[in-house]
Structure 1
Amino acid sequence: MEVQIYNAILVIIFFIGIIFSISNLFLGNQALVWSSAIAVVLLLICFYLLRVKNAYKLAFYISSGGSYPLLAYAFFYNDGINGPNFYMFLLVHLIILSILKLKFHYVWTLINMLFFTGLFYIGLYHEEWIPKNYVSKEAVFLDHVLTYFVSLIGISILINSIKRFYAVEKEKVKEKSIELTQINRSLTKTSAQKDKIITIISHDLKNPLQSIIQTLELMDSGELSEEEIKFLRQELLKTTNRTYKMMENILEWSSFEIKNMAGREKEMLVKELVEDTVEILKVIAKQKSIQLEVNYHKNPLVYLETDRLLLIFRNLVQNAIKFTPAGGLVTIDLNCLNEQLILEITDNGIGISADRLSNIFAQDIKSTYGTEQEKGTGMGLHLCYQSAHKLNGELKVDSTEGVGSSFKLIIPTGINR
């Protein structure tokens, strides 16, 4: 920013030098005309060094170092202490301080004080050394007023320029701060999305993998006949393939979610969409001796984010299985009414307490345990609730402790889009 201020200062002083050259020519002071002309040439050299050669420091030291000898010259040829040159000392000092680093202020302040004190002493005690150039009081008045006005205007322009530069820089800092805040929010959001995805992956893959492990342990126990082992191998292959396919879908959805990409909608029949997932869930339910019943009252065509719908479907059914004891029943009802897909999962499990029911969809990571001590966090229902809203739908729950629960998802089919 100092370079920008210095650039503006050079322009301001250049015009001041032109004004003084004209005024001194008008007043008939040839010596000061030459000093003003030298100052203008010096400024042009500094401007060239700054803009063309990018030599900011050299330009500054030439202009600052040359200003005091020129002021001393002008003092001697402008009637010493009777002339207006001391106004210029303040202007020059202000210019130097405005572009110098703080640690150099004291040095240049001392230089200014020494020049001023020395010249004032000479003007007061050695007046004979100074030639008389004023021819009338009118010339004195005009020179003082003009120099004072030019110095005052120069100081005003300089201060306004500095304030404007600082205002611009402040605005840039503000914009940068807003940008960094947005980046920080984006990173926080991305981090939250990653946490959500990890939760989804662990939640949706844990039960199928446990089912596969239990099947392998059963096959390895030596208590099964060859025919039973052959049957289990076939079922294991089916379960593994379905789990792998489900994992691929989750990972694909995760990639879209992290990148916040659109265009994930697909057109599919609901039965075709959920049937592979249903088969995996049936295996999980069977291992707990739970009956999983699926009723396709209608098989509507939907156009929506199918991965998000499957996420809700898996979580709700897995939760129902988790909180239903052995010998229980989990029912899945799929229907369509007024272009609304209605998915209802009902169980006769342990139900939900009234206190827990009031904030069942809150982002409250709290350990919960199923009927066989399956550990969970409660995050799955929060993700289902969020996903339902992203599908422009709603998720409802009705539960009685000790009787069972019913979750109902209602979302637009999206066909008449």
Structure 2
Amino acid sequence: MIKKRISGIWNYLIGDAPQFSLQSRIYHSICIITILVIFYTIPFSLLNNLPWLALLSSGLLCLQIFLYYLSRYRNWLNTSMIIYAVIFNIFFAVSYYFSSGIQGSVLFSFITVHFLIIATAQKKHYWLWTLGNIILVISLIVYEYYHPEFIIDSYNDRVTRFIDITSTYIVTILLIFACLTYIINNYNVEKRIADNSLSKLQQLNEEKNKLLSIVSHDFNSPLSNIQTYLDILERTDLNPESRKELEKELRQVTNDTQHFLNNLLLWTKKQMEGFDFSIAAIDINKCLYGTVEICRNLAVNKGISFEYEIHQDTFIKTNNDIYQLIVRNLLNNAIKFTPSGGNITISSVLDKQFLTLQIRDNGKGIPQNKQNQIFTSTVKSTFGTNNEKGTGLGLRMCKEFTEALNGKIWFKSEDGKGTTFFLQMPLGYHFE
């Protein structure tokens, strides 16, 4: 609990990932750590009889808090970072002469400051900051070499020198470790986000290609057929029987096209907007009455017997319109792949928690080598027993919609002997 609270405070101080870039969050971390280090420097300077350094550090502390405020709350990252780099290089350049020069610990501080600057600076400025740091440090060392009298030995004894150099080294290592660890962890987080985005983009691209393929091929074909039928009806003097047969075919093609278009529109909406279905307890018989009657007529017109055996007064938790769409797709498939003289049965199995709808036919069945593709985008267009056109979209959509409604869908099939689809939904409530 304490760890989680500390993590929450830290994330607030450095800024949330969506609002602040990785560069900004790293810089805010550096600012906070620098503030803590300066807090350490003030009492250490006083203990070593360096009141001027304690006073300078106090002013630097106020400046560092202001720089943090500029970036974190005013979003002036680059301005704050440049001021930070310049001020701290000047500070350590001055401290170099007042802290025993090359015999002291300030060189470690130059390394730390440069590392922190590179961690947050723009890539195009890396060499500028690096050359500046090298030139500054070498200039200080050369000047000390020729003018050692300007160097003030700030250590009272050998023990103080060892403590200062050792503590500065430890602080430098810890700062570099903390900063590198944070950068690496955030890099991995950003990489995972990028990988997920790439995966979603690839998936969307596949969906787009699938959609274009369906529209360009499968949607164009039935429209061409409708146009052909209409041309024949307009230009040809048909006898009543031929005309009736042609009108029947035209009705079938129109029905298939409308069915496909409804599926396509819903599936496209799902891909673009996601699922937002309201779920309620509905009477399954009232929900399916219209759908079943339409499909019954289609089956009878094709010469297929149709049986309906669903529990009465049974309620399931689902979305009325989407559940009808799923069942309509399953029944249309059964009709499509069942030959004249065949049989389709829609029944239900009831237990304490679920109602499972079973749609059984004795049609063509699904070949074994295609069964693992039925609910995927890899399934290709198929033709029914009367050359009814399918797109391969309906069953995949059924699975996606079923899972969105907290249900399950599966099937059993044997090539040449028929198929049974199972559609399971949680119960709403049930009257005995």
Q: Which category of TM-score, normalised to the shorter sequence, fits these structures?
A: 0.5 to 0.7
Any idea what the Cα deviations from partners look like across 1:154-194, whole Å, max 9, x if unmatched?
23123212322332333333333333344444455555666
Asked if the contact 1:342/1:410 (under 8 Å) is kept, the reply is yes
CA distance in 2, matches of 1:91, 1:376: 73
Counterpart mapping for 1:3-402 below 5 A: 4-5=29-30, 8-9=33-34, 11-13=36-38, 15-24=40-49, 33-34=51-52, 36=53, 39-40=56-57, 43-44=60-61, 46-47=63-64, 50-51=67-68, 55-73=80-98, 75=100, 86-101=103-118, 102-103=126-127, 104-123=129-148, 142-188=156-202, 212-213=226-227, 215-224=229-238, 244=258, 247-248=261-262, 251-252=265-266, 255-256=269-270, 259-263=274-278, 267-269=283-285, 270-280=288-298, 285=302, 291-296=303-308, 303=316, 304=318, 305-320=323-338, 324=339, 328-336=340-348, 338=350, 340-347=356-363, 356-362=367-373, 363=376, 364-365=378-379, 391-400=407-416
Tell me which amino acid in the other structure corresponds to 1:157: V
Asked if the contact 1:367/1:376 (under 8 Å) is kept, the reply is yes
Relative distance call for 1:399 and 1:198 in structure 2 (3 A) is same
Asked if the contact 1:342/1:408 (under 8 Å) is kept, the reply is yes
Query: Under a length normalisation based on structure 2, what TM-score does the superposition of the two structures give?
Result: 0.64
Instruction: Return 101-110 or 227-236, whichever deviates more.
Output: 227-236
Name the SS of the counterpart of 1:360 in structure 2: helix
Match of residue 408, structure 1, among 411, 417, 420: 420
Relative distance call for 1:298 and 1:23 in structure 2 (3 A) is closer
Query: Under a length normalisation based on structure 1, what TM-score does the superposition of the two structures give?
Result: 0.66
Larger C-alpha radius of gyration, 1 or 2?
1
Measure how far apart 1:314 and its partner are.
1.5
Any idea what the Cα deviations from partners look like across 1:41-80, whole Å, max 9, x if unmatched?
55246436524566442343233224334433555xxxxx
Relative distance call for 1:48 and 1:108 in structure 2 (3 A) is same
Name the SS of the counterpart of 1:57 in structure 2: helix
Measure how far apart 1:196 and its partner are.
6.9
Relative distance call for 1:256 and 1:281 in structure 2 (3 A) is farther
Instruction: Return 15-24 or 245-254, whichever deviates more.
Output: 245-254
| Long gaps (5+) in structure 1 | 25-31, 76-83, 124-128, 135-139, 286-290
User: C-alpha root-mean-square deviation of aligned residues, in Å?
Assistant: 4.8
Relative distance call for 1:110 and 1:15 in structure 2 (3 A) is same
Tell me which amino acid in the other structure corresponds to 1:65: I
| Long gaps (5+) in structure 2 | 1-25, 72-79, 119-125
Asked if the contact 2:31/2:68 (under 8 Å) is kept, the reply is no
CA distance in 2, matches of 1:57, 1:198: 51
CA distance in 1, matches of 2:153, 2:221: 104
Measure how far apart 1:309 and its partner are.
1.7
Aligned-residue identity in percent: 17
Asked if the contact 1:9/1:95 (under 8 Å) is kept, the reply is no
- Number of corresponding residues: 369
